[in-house]
Structure 1
Amino acid sequence: MPIRDILLALLVVAIWGFNFVVIKLSVEALPPILAAAFRFSFAAVPLIFFVKPPKTAWWMTAGFGLSFGFALYSFLNLALSAGMPAGLASVVLQVQAFFTMLIAFFFLNERPRRMQIIGGAIAFAGIGVIAIERLSGAALGPFVLTLCAALAWGFANVLSKKAGKVNPIAITVWGSAFAALPLFGLSAFMEGPGALIDAVTAPRWSTVGLIVFLAYPATLFGLAVWNWLLSRHPASIVAPFTLLVPITGLVSGWILLGERITALEIAGGALVVVGLGATVIKRRRPPINPILPEA
């Protein structure tokens, strides 16, 4: 994986780590499903009028939008609204890397290398260390909702890979449109149509700012770059980068929300870094020496 692509992946996961704090603030300002609906409607409009649909089967674009936008953020926003700490959510959601490897194995026939399996196990142990430390403060319901969000992200990663080398902006914008409509419908059903009316007729600029960040840096930029990386590299190589999201998520939660970081969590984060290094470094084969003719 070229150094440029590694740096882009690191930038995306840094944004996505901070993204958890912003989501937490957004679900405190708005009903959780409505907050997700605004996020993806902002990401889709007005760009959908200027960006052509991606050159892939429409059901792949729809499936990507429904898995990443509708399913992932329905589950995640509900979990955060129900009391899941932002830092802990950033940890648990990274189980998606292993869901991605498993789903890609069955549907894309991608077989992870031995070092990827070893590195994934090390990183997963680090996530487990952090999660065990933090789970005492979270109820089982929000934790299960976050695991469901991780599974949805795994399917989204595989669908993006299956779509091939399509325009990453196009699949992000049109996928966001497929996510926004059912999110508004689910919000009206669960939260009532009055929530949308109140948000539109009496908007707060602080809330608008949160949605703008979620829609543009976190969704359009982050997801477009992520889809571009998935189109160039195996899903089992790209997905483990998100194992760094818990580190930026924990630090952001500590600085902005006052969430505590312990020595055990720092040790878990170190394991995540070591595991990630093992998954992305490809062992070079020794050169084959030519057979010299006998003198």
Structure 2
Amino acid sequence: MTESELNLMNRSTKGITTYELLYVAGIVAISFSSIFIKWSQADVAVIAMYRLYLTNLLLLPFAWKYRRELFALTRKQWLMLGASGLMLGLHFLLWMASLRLTTVASSTVILTLEPVLVMLGSYWIYKTKANSAMLAGMGIAIIGSVMIGAGDFSLSGDALAGDILSFFGTVAVAAHMLIGKGLRDSVGAFPYNFWVFLFAATALAVYNVAVGNPFTGYSGQEWGLFLLLAIVPTLFGHYLFNWLLKYMNATAVSMSVLGEPVISSLLAWVLLKEALTGYQLVAGVFILSGVWLFIRRGQDRAELASKAASNGSAV
């Protein structure tokens, strides 16, 4: 870890670390995703594909700077990047499809299983343990998420199919996060994101060819939504969280999904004119409180690095 990274890690504003500020910014960014998807009329696989291809197009001007890192990868790293990209593409396909079949609340509340799956996977693969405060924060946040979605679950028809798609999309993104955690210890943020987004987009392109989805003929408004999805929730959301995987444990980063229904509900209230009840606001307080408690206790690597820096300066 470089000296500049340690300085960034130790920098804080009134007790709030830079990583925590970036984490909150990422939650706000990903919360726009469901809004843009609701506005679009294109097939969800096309939306996801262009979202990722356009993200890579925006990253392309910086590729020359990282040209050596982009190709200085082992066979195992290439395979893991491909697997991570495939899981991300599958997550986008399944979760975005669920939004067309069930309510945003129902689809999002199922996503709250992500940190649970990631925590179990982190313990099994990386031997990462969660302390009591982290578990309490997760529990509080999940209670709030269940409160938001409790009235929207359905056990029949399209809604049930949407819930099932959301669940398998959650499993896919948990796998993506766990693979990414292993890769980010040896692969830089830019090459990791660039290749993962490219592999995910290409997997979705193959799917679109297979099912016969058109690649052209979309309106200027649709292309604008594809671009907004690339910039806001992907670059300022997923890219940022993948970068944070090196400095926060995977479970802490995956907890971002619990903040999404709160911000998304507020955005839907403002932009889509959807109703927002006092009950939902109380649930939102639960979620945000739980997420905040968790991330304050979830930065194991950052804390260790900070202690190491302190010990080094004291010698």
**Per the shorter chain, which TM-score range?**
0.7 to 0.9
1:169 pairs with 2:190: yes
Residue in structure 2 matching 1:234, options 244, 249, 259? 249
- Checking the alignment, whether the CA contact within 8 Å between 2:20 and 2:295 is kept in structure 1 is no
In 2, Cα distance between equivalents of 1:101 and 1:168: 22
Query: How far is the alpha carbon of 1:271 from its aligned partner?
Result: 1.1
- Checking the alignment, whether the CA contact within 8 Å between 1:16 and 1:222 is kept in structure 2 is yes
Query: How far is the alpha carbon of 1:54 from its aligned partner?
Result: 6.8
Q: For 1:2-151, list aligned pairs within 5 A.
A: 3-26=17-40, 29-45=41-57, 47=59, 50=64, 51-52=66-67, 53=70, 57-68=77-88, 70-82=89-101, 84-135=102-153, 139-151=159-171
In 1, Cα distance between equivalents of 2:257 and 2:206: 30
Match of residue 270 from structure 2: 255
- Percent identity reads 22
- Checking the alignment, whether the CA contact within 8 Å between 2:32 and 2:232 is kept in structure 1 is no
Query: How far is the alpha carbon of 1:95 from its aligned partner?
Result: 2.1
Match of residue 209 from structure 1: 224
Gaps of 5+ in 2: 1-8, 304-315
Q: Give per-residue Cα distances to partners, 1:218-276, cap 9 Å, x unaligned.
A: 21332221112111121223222332111111111222223222222222111112222
CA separation of 1:258 and 1:92: change in aligned 2, threshold 3 A: farther
- Checking the alignment, whether the CA contact within 8 Å between 1:75 and 1:149 is kept in structure 2 is yes
Q: Give per-residue Cα distances to partners, 1:137-162, cap 9 Å, x unaligned.
A: 98111111111111111111111111
- Checking the alignment, whether the CA contact within 8 Å between 1:17 and 1:246 is kept in structure 2 is yes
In 2, Cα distance between equivalents of 1:281 and 1:177: 33
- Checking the alignment, whether the CA contact within 8 Å between 2:122 and 2:178 is kept in structure 1 is yes
Residue in structure 1 matching 2:199, options 169, 172, 178? 178
In 1, Cα distance between equivalents of 2:81 and 2:220: 32
Query: How far is the alpha carbon of 1:136 from its aligned partner?
Result: 5.2
- Checking the alignment, whether the CA contact within 8 Å between 2:54 and 2:230 is kept in structure 1 is yes
In 2, Cα distance between equivalents of 1:181 and 1:250: 31
SS at match of 2:127: coil
Query: How far is the alpha carbon of 1:91 from its aligned partner?
Result: 3.5
In 1, Cα distance between equivalents of 2:277 and 2:231: 32
In 2, Cα distance between equivalents of 1:244 and 1:61: 27
Letter of the 2:49 partner, please give it.
A
Instruction: Tell which deviates more after alignment, 88-97 or 173-182.
Output: 88-97
- Checking the alignment, whether the CA contact within 8 Å between 2:91 and 2:172 is kept in structure 1 is yes
Letter of the 1:218 partner, please give it.
P
CA RMSD of aligned residues (A): 2.3
Q: List structure 1 segments (4+ residues) > 6 angstroms apart after TM superposition.
A: none
Query: How far is the alpha carbon of 1:89 from its aligned partner?
Result: 3.1
Give the count of matched residue pairs.
Answer: 274
- Checking the alignment, whether the CA contact within 8 Å between 2:92 and 2:169 is kept in structure 1 is yes
In 1, Cα distance between equivalents of 2:55 and 2:150: 35
- Checking the alignment, whether the CA contact within 8 Å between 1:90 and 1:249 is kept in structure 2 is no
In 2, Cα distance between equivalents of 1:136 and 1:261: 20
Instruction: Tell which deviates more after alignment, 4-13 or 106-115.
Output: 106-115
In 2, Cα distance between equivalents of 1:7 and 1:281: 11
